[in-house]
Structure 1
Amino acid sequence: MNFIHASDFHLGYAQYGLPERFRDYARAFHTVIQHAIDHRVEFILISGDLFHKRNINAPTYRQAHKVLSELKKKSPSAGVYVVEGNHDLAYHQDGYSWLDMLNSEGLLKVIKLKEAEADGVKLMGDFIELDNVRIFGVKYIGSSTVSVIPQIAEEIKKITAARGEKYTILMMHFGMAGQMRQEAPGEIHYNSLLPLKEVVNYLALGHYHMNYEIDGWIFNPGSVEMIAMNEYGLPKGFYHVRDSGTKLISPVTRPVRRIKLDISSIATPDELYSSIGSRLDREPSIPPDPLIELLLYGNMNFPKSDINLERIKDMLSEQFKPLWSEIKILKSNSQYTLNEGDVRGLTREEIEHRVFSDRVKLDGRYRDNAEEIVKTIIEAKRMAAAGVEESAIQTELRWCFEKIKSSLPDNEDKTGKKAAGPAQKTLLSRIGDA
């Protein structure tokens, strides 16, 4: 086995309106294809969003055509198998996408949802049959995804029974719940994917632009290039999969630097400029033409209108000579705010665990039971997101309450049993509010 799994190239994106960024995404695509040529891979999977938008322009199509033609010339046996991401989908009135155009020229193969002659196969009739591998694909179908997963699993099972066992790959384009720092529409929870685990060896995902792996069978490589600044610091790249294992490759791309400065103790604009200069001087060297974001955060002690942003931009230009730079000013005095450095690389579930833990521990009475309470809060949140009945969620909360009730320092009633005093009631209220 020797294949590449990549996704979310977003060809055609001129980020920040910059022609050089338009070329960066093509360079990233070429890097992956060149790796495939150099390592003589058997096939390449692209799990959606090859293009940045449905209606691409001629230069974008030329970028894709040129790179894929090079692959066909140098490695003619290496197939490229693609599913449509939300950015690739054809307009309804057209019924034909730019991926279909590349398909018609023999440069890649788009795997479609298709009915087959076999009984009961309504979606998964279009698949790739190789010597030792069978590849299925499902385009981006948004909120419908979770409802058709059992059907997808059942149809793959029927096809496997009819054609024999092979290493089975399924490409899909959706986001896994708990991976992003904020919830997003259409996310799929792991439990909803369990029917697929019985019939799929490698679930090749795309959509979220950071890398994650789950349970040894779910793989999301992320985008190769940065698509948005909020991806800063997150691992990403493409997978090279061989018999020896799965390896994430992270090519060298456009350098990006986010620089942060707490301005809470700065009294005047002149002091701000001095502090920024000192902060920039401490930054390690960076390759030419980077993308730079300066993030000023904290409580501001003077009007924002007093800040000369052009002066700060000039400081950034002199220090780094960036391709692009931006200054962001974030004000916050929330006791629950986490700095970016505290959460970089954490999943949303890990961030939630930290926030809930901090909140519970604010009340010293619950410190000894904080872990149990936080687990219950997170489980109650999951149940609510899954549409579980309110009575079942209340039972879960009550179970936690009863479990730790005996450890809370309230008075006993006349029978000698501890009564549900103010501490217990407050605890139940905190769990319910969270």
Structure 2
Amino acid sequence: MNFIHASDFHLGYAQYGLSERFRDYARAFHSVITYAIDNKTDFILISGDLFHKRNINAPTYEQAYKVLSLLRQKSPSTAVYAIEGNHDLAFHQDGKSWLQILDSQSLLKLIRLKEANGAKLMGDFVELDNARIFGVRYLGSGTVSIIPRIADEIKKINAEQGEKYTILMMHFGMEGQIRQEASGEIPYNSLLPLKEVVDYLALGHYHIQYELDDWIFNPGSVEMIAMSEYGLSKGFYHINQSDRKLITPLTRPVRRIKLDISSIKIPAELYTRIESKLDREQIIRSDMSPLIELVLYGEMNFPKSEVNIDRIKDMLADRFKPLWSEVKIIRSNLQYTINEGDVRGLTREQIELRVFSDQVKLDGRYQDNVEEIVKTMIEVKKMAAAGIEETAIQKELRWCFEKMKTSLSDNRDKKEVKNQVKNQEPNTRQTLLSHMGDI
């Protein structure tokens, strides 16, 4: 089995209002299709958001049509299977999505939810010699509740049709995979019914790459959709027999530069520091002009209105010749600022764990209970976000408090015993110390 898994191409997105960025997303789509042709893949999975808008314009449709027509011409045996992401869904008054139009022209196969073969949801699936492919469009907040039903229907179909390598395409974000909490995220435990019947869960929606337990895979977008994705892994998967690798094509270069301005007293010093910072940045060697963002963060010691943004942009232009540049000023309390390099690649839960731990450690009274307090803080946050009753949250907090109180009491008892031991005769003290491990 030799296939490609990609998602979130967002064709038609003119990022920053630039026609060059509009073409960049088409180039990214073209690079995946040409890779599939060159590697003679059996099929291509697109797990949602082929388009950036539900109501696309003619040039966007032309981009999709040309690239998919190229595939049909160069490699007619390579099929494309797709589902609708939240950006692809048709407006109610339109009746059809643009993916349905591509389907009607045999440029791809859109897998939809429909009743067929005794299955109410999963009746529309693809039957191959060595694989069975299911698909579910973007369902938003209703995804969690419908997962057990999806699993049951796939189990029934597999039993009736015979077991095969089972692929399921879905479009949602998994809990804890991005730094900002988002609505509609699915916790891992909610997916466990699928694990029993699905070999490869092909996800889309979040634009960063992640995978879990060798059965959940999200390749991310090929191109950058937002600057917040800077430095994070993304691309598309190439699965060839037992070999699986993430392919990251060359795209327009992006550079985010950060400068702490807390020690800068006057604007003149700011420009000097920026110039020095830019001189230390490596030159970007590419045929494509880069996207540059300069982030000035920390406590500002003079009014923001005194900063000449145009002058700073001229400095960026001299150094990088960018297609686009932006200067952001983020004033923050440095006590709570985390360096981007320290958290790059970490999940949101891992970042929360680090932040909560650092804050609890600031109070010396809780040094022996940091782990327990942090676990409770994270659990209470999840309970509150899920709308759990206030009494249940209070019970969780009370349980943590009682455990801390018991721990503090035990520590005081040990300290008192040790003090008593110090006042004993040497021989008696040695005997008592040998039994301290039992306390």
CA distance in structure 2 between the partners assigned to 1:271 and 1:396 by the alignment: 51
Contact persistence 1:224–1:236 (CA under 8 A): yes
Deviation for aligned residue 1:308 = 1.1
Cα 1:268–1:387 change in 2 (3 A) is: closer
CA distance in structure 1 between the partners assigned to 2:93 and 2:152 by the alignment: 32
Alignment map for 1:34-433 (pairs within 5 Å): 34-118=34-118, 121-288=119-286, 289-333=289-333, 335-408=335-408
Deviation for aligned residue 1:392 = 4.3
Structure 1 portions without partners, runs of 5+ = 417-434
Contact persistence 1:291–1:322 (CA under 8 A): yes
Task: Report the number of matched residues.
Answer: 412
Deviation for aligned residue 1:64 = 0.7
CA distance in structure 1 between the partners assigned to 2:300 and 2:392 by the alignment: 46
CA distance in structure 1 between the partners assigned to 2:381 and 2:122 by the alignment: 34
Deviation for aligned residue 1:377 = 2.2
Secondary structure at the counterpart of residue 152 of structure 1: helix
CA distance in structure 2 between the partners assigned to 1:394 and 1:216 by the alignment: 37
Deviation for aligned residue 1:272 = 0.5
Q: Which amino acid aligns with 2:405?
A: K
CA distance in structure 2 between the partners assigned to 1:201 and 1:362 by the alignment: 45
Deviation for aligned residue 1:346 = 1.4
Q: Which amino acid aligns with 2:31?
A: T
RMSD between superposed Cα atoms in Å = 1.8
Deviation for aligned residue 1:197 = 0.7
Contact persistence 1:47–1:204 (CA under 8 A): yes
Secondary structure at the counterpart of residue 44 of structure 2: strand
CA distance in structure 2 between the partners assigned to 1:334 and 1:266 by the alignment: 14
Between structures 1 and 2, the one with greater helix share:
2
Cα 1:131–1:286 change in 2 (3 A) is: same
CA distance in structure 2 between the partners assigned to 1:287 and 1:145 by the alignment: 44
Q: Deviations over 1:217-251 (max 9, x none)?
A: 11000000000111111110000112223211111
CA distance in structure 2 between the partners assigned to 1:327 and 1:412 by the alignment: 54
Cα 1:409–1:335 change in 2 (3 A) is: farther
Deviation for aligned residue 1:391 = 4.4
CA distance in structure 1 between the partners assigned to 2:334 and 2:391 by the alignment: 33
Deviation for aligned residue 1:334 = 5.4
TM-score, length-scaled by structure 1: 0.91
Cα 1:198–1:390 change in 2 (3 A) is: farther
CA distance in structure 2 between the partners assigned to 1:385 and 1:195 by the alignment: 23
CA distance in structure 1 between the partners assigned to 2:140 and 2:32 by the alignment: 27
CA distance in structure 1 between the partners assigned to 2:135 and 2:193 by the alignment: 16
Secondary structure at the counterpart of residue 407 of structure 1: helix
Secondary structure at the counterpart of residue 61 of structure 1: helix
TM-score, length-scaled by structure 2: 0.90
Q: Which amino acid aligns with 1:184?
A: A
CA distance in structure 1 between the partners assigned to 2:388 and 2:198 by the alignment: 28
